[in-house]
A = this chain, B = another copy of it.
Amino acid sequence: MTEQTHRRVTSADVARLAGVSRATVSYVMNDTPAQTISPSTRTRVLDAAARLGYSPSAAARTLRTGRSDVVLCLLPDWPIGPEVGSMLGNLSTALARHGLTLVVHPGNREDRPIGEIWKAITPAAVIAYTDFSPGEIVAMRSAGVALVVASLGRGAQPDRRELAVPQQLIGRQQAGHLIAAGHTRLGYAYPDDDRVRIFAEPRLAGVRAECRDRQVGGPATETVALDPEQAASAVRRWHAAGITAVCAYNDEVALAVLAGVRLEGRSVPADLAVIGVDDIPPARLAAPALTTVTTDQVAVAAYLSATVVAAINGRPGPAVPTDDLVHLVRRESA
C-alpha cells in the first residue's frame, strides 16, 4: 500500500519557493488591483505555483471571504429527464462564465432535511424547485447564504426571486395550436404522479386560459398513467364526450395516449389529435410522430444565470423573457 503522505500545497510553500511573503502570493494569484507587483516577482510566484501544483484551499477562502463560488441547485424528487439535464448543463456553463460553479443535489424521498445539504456546501446561492419553509429561509440567511431562489414557487416574496419559467405559456401554445387547427373540444391528459404537480398545474392552467380566451370549451381533464390500458379508458371517455384533441402534460403522457388510442382501434390524429411537451427523442420515433412543444433550454439557463448573478450582487434580476421561449414542433400527431 503506497500510503499517501502528500501534504497539501499551501500558499506558504509557494511563498517559500518564490522567496516572497504569503501576502505577495495572494496578490499575484488574485491579480489584486490595488496592489502593484513587479513583473519579475509575479513571474517567480506564478512559476513556483505551477511547479508545486498549488491550488488555493476553497475552504480557507470561503471561511475568510464568507462566500463560496458555488451555486447549489436542489432538485425535487421526481425523475429528471434529458430536458432538465441539458438545462442544468447550460446553466453550469453560463454560471461558469461568472466564476461560479454549479452543483446539483438530486432529490430523493428519504433524504436528510434540506438544511443538511446547504450547510455542507455554504453556497453563494440556492436554486430550488421546491418551496422552502420560512424557517429554512431564515436559517439559510443566518448561515450566510446570500440568496434563496425559489423556482416555480407560488407567491413572490420579498426575500426571494421568482424564477418561474412560464409554464402557462406551454399550455397556451399547446391549446393554441389545436384550436388553430379547428378543434373546438379539447381534452387534457394529466400526469399520474403527484410529484410533478408543480409543473402540471400551471400547464393545465395555461390550457384553460387559452380555451377561455378563444371561446372554446375548457379542457376535459383525465389523469393518464403511463400504461396503455389505463390510457385507453381515458380515450374512451374523451371519445364519449366528443373530444377531438388532447394536450398532454408531457411527451411520455402523450405517448401513453397514443398507445391508448391504438388499443381502442382508433387512429391519431384522425380520431384524436395529440400534442405533447419536451420533444424527447422517442417523440419523433413514435407512430405517428408526435407533435410537441419545447422550451428553449439555453434561454432559460441564461435567464436563470442572470438572475442568480444579479441577486448575488444585490442587484434586481432581469425581466422574465416571456417571448421566444416556447416553440412548436409540428409533426404528425396534431
In A109-138, the 8 Å CB interface with B consists of 109-112, 115-117, 119-122, 138
- Bound complex: CA A55 to CA B114 (Å): 13
A108 lies within 8 A of chain B by Cβ:
yes
A107 lies within 8 A of chain B by Cβ:
yes
- Residues on the B chain within 8 Å of A122, using CB: 57-59
Q: Is the interface of A mostly helix, strand, loop or mixed?
A: mixed
Q: Which of A19-27, A76-84, A212-220, A321-329 sits within the interface?
A: A76-84
CB distance from A308 to the nearest CB of B (A): 15
- Residues on the B chain within 8 Å of A117, using CB: 101
A202 lies within 8 A of chain B by Cβ:
no
Q: A85-B106, A102-B105, A103-B105 are in contact. Are A252 and B63 (CB under 8 A)?
A: no
Contact for A119 among B58, B103, B144, B262, CB less than 8 A: B58
A11 lies within 8 A of chain B by Cβ:
no
Q: A82-B80, A119-B55 are in contact. Are A8 and B72 (CB under 8 A)?
A: no
B284 touches A282 (CB 8 A): no
Contact for A101 among B82, B105, B141, CB less than 8 A: B105
CB distance from A317 to the nearest CB of B (A): 14
- Bound complex: CA A141 to CA B7 (Å): 9
Q: Which of A40-48, A87-95, A174-182, A234-242 sits within the interface?
A: A87-95
- Residues on the B chain within 8 Å of A115, using CB: 55
A226 lies within 8 A of chain B by Cβ:
yes
Contact for A63 among B4, B57, B256, CB less than 8 A: B57
A96 lies within 8 A of chain B by Cβ:
yes
- Residues on the B chain within 8 Å of A104, using CB: 103-106
B101 touches A120 (CB 8 A): yes
B92 touches A105 (CB 8 A): yes
A142 touches B8 (CB 8 A): yes
Contact for A141 among B6, B108, B227, B228, CB less than 8 A: B6
Q: Which 3 A-B pairs have the closest CB atoms?
A: A89-B108, A59-B62, A282-B282
